Structure 1
Amino acid sequence: MRIISGSLRGLKLAEVGEGDAKAHLRPTSDRVRESLFNVLASLDGGISPVVDARVLDLFAGTGALGFEALSRGAAQVTFVDEGVKARALIRENIDKCRAIGTTRLLRRDATDLKRNDGAPFKVIFLDPPYGKGLGEKAIASAQDGGWIAPSALLIWEENAPQSTPAGFTLLDQRKYGDTWITLLRAPAP
């Protein structure tokens, strides 16, 4: 797995390997990441929403989506995962990307985030374990805890098309193999 584009283009990320069977790590494929970031670059008049944005990567796994955003100009990325194996991979990738000053790693349950202690995020990736209804819970938790900025962009990866949560606007929904990407706009102020 490599960074597709930007300042870190071509950098090989840490291998998932056999890992911990309980970790349920399923990194977003290079092809899906490339397609997704091409779609993002076409939003808002061709200016990628990740440029200069504070990015939140929920159910981060290896952190591939967040690191891709960082490579493409994100100001800061916060990774959230409660898995031991996932956090170890993210720490390794932070080192590989030399991104200690622009990243933050939180050991938290994405469906129970608690109150955000900083500024809200303009771009939120969520890639929960497929088919368990955790995406809806994570969005509700992030919204209740002040993690989502007004009009933020949410990028939700699942194995089926997802319903739009109340107050959010569906921007796009696309299928890539067995992966569905749903793009949502958070409520405006």
Structure 2
Amino acid sequence: MASRKPAGRSPSNRPPRESARNRDGMGELRIIGGDWRSRKLRFPDAGGVRPTPARTRETLFNWLSFQLAGSDCLDLFAGSGALGLEALSRGAGRATLVDHTPALARALRDNLRLLKSDRGDVVCASVDTFLAHRDRGPFDIVFMDPPFRQGWLERIVPLLDEQGWLKPKGWVYIEHESDMTTPAVPTHWHLHRQKTAGQVTYCLFQIRPDDE
């Protein structure tokens, strides 16, 4: 990653988010649906990581409710793992979680072991480096919640499309600051749902042929 700021939820780049924090500096994530519903997981306060809020996750996974079963998911800027782990809890077949911060990657692996799941893969790498060398995929669903105001989406969207990271009729979830226009996407990415909550806008796109 070009910046050494945490790949996921840095308070200097995005609005504050709900996140229980213990006296030892660890954060806490609660899975809100599926097999692991109400399970609480800990992750290090590596630069102020903030999970996607529960209400936003509930809306997103309602949108994806008929797409998750058996899907192969990619969680970029995984941070606490809020999106990738939630997807696994709700029936995704597999999830690859990518984050460049070693402490967060270790916590993701520890939490997968705690959940007794062998369906998650954790990659400790910068997102742009990971996407530049495709050795897995393509994926059914890609989650992207990058640090704000660093131009990540403008760089990553073309990489996802040009290097074939998405299956035909796959899905892409994007979060960005609400005072920014939604980044340009390829013409065959069709906006399925979009919502703004406070200072964050989140969108779900489906990959479809232009003639559909």
TM value normalised by structure 2? 0.77
**Partner of residue 72, structure 1:** 90
| Contact in 1 for aligned 2:73/2:84 (Cα 8 Å) | yes
1:44 aligns with: none
Deviation of 1:53 (Å) = 0.3
Residues 133 and 187 of structure 1: CA distance in aligned 2, closer, same or farther (over 3 Å): farther
Amino acid at match of 1:176: A
1:4–1:34 contact (8 Å) kept in structure 2: yes
Is the CA contact (8 Å cut-off) linking 1:150 and 1:187 kept in structure 2?
A: yes
Aligned residue among 102, 111, 125 for 2:119: 102
Measure the CA separation in 1 of the matches of 2:100 and 2:162.
Answer: 19
Distance in 1 between residues matched to 2:156 and 2:75, nearest whole Å: 11
Cα distance in 2 between the residues matched to 1:7 and 1:35: 18
Matching residue of 1:7 = 35
Deviation of residue 166 (structure 1)? 2.0
| Cα displacement (A) at 1:188 | 3.4
Residue 128 of structure 1: aligned partner:
146
Kindly report which structure 2 residues correspond to 1:25-174, keeping only aligned pairs within 5 A, or say none.
25-41=49-65, 47=66, 49-99=67-117, 101-112=118-129, 113-160=131-178, 161-167=181-187, 168-174=189-195
Identity %: 32
SS in structure 1 opposite 2:111?
helix
State the TM-score, normalized to the length of structure 1. Answer: 0.85
CA contact (8 A) 1:77 1:103 kept: yes
**Letter of the structure 2 residue corresponding to residue 129 of structure 1:** P
Unpaired stretches in structure 1, ≥5 consecutive residues: 42-46
Please identify which structure carries the higher strand content. 2
Letter in 1 for 2:177: N
Higher share of residues assigned helix:
1
Unaligned 5+ residue runs, structure 2?
A: 1-28
CA contact (8 A) 1:14 1:92 kept: no
Could you say what the CA RMSD is over the residues aligned between the two structures, in angstroms? 1.8
Deviation at 1:187, TM superposition (A): 4.1
Please tell me whether Structure 1 or Structure 2 has the larger radius of gyration of its CA atoms.
2
| Off by >3 Å, runs of 4+ in structure 1 | none
1:50-83: CA deviation from partner (whole Å, max 9, x where unpaired): 1110000001111110111001100000011111
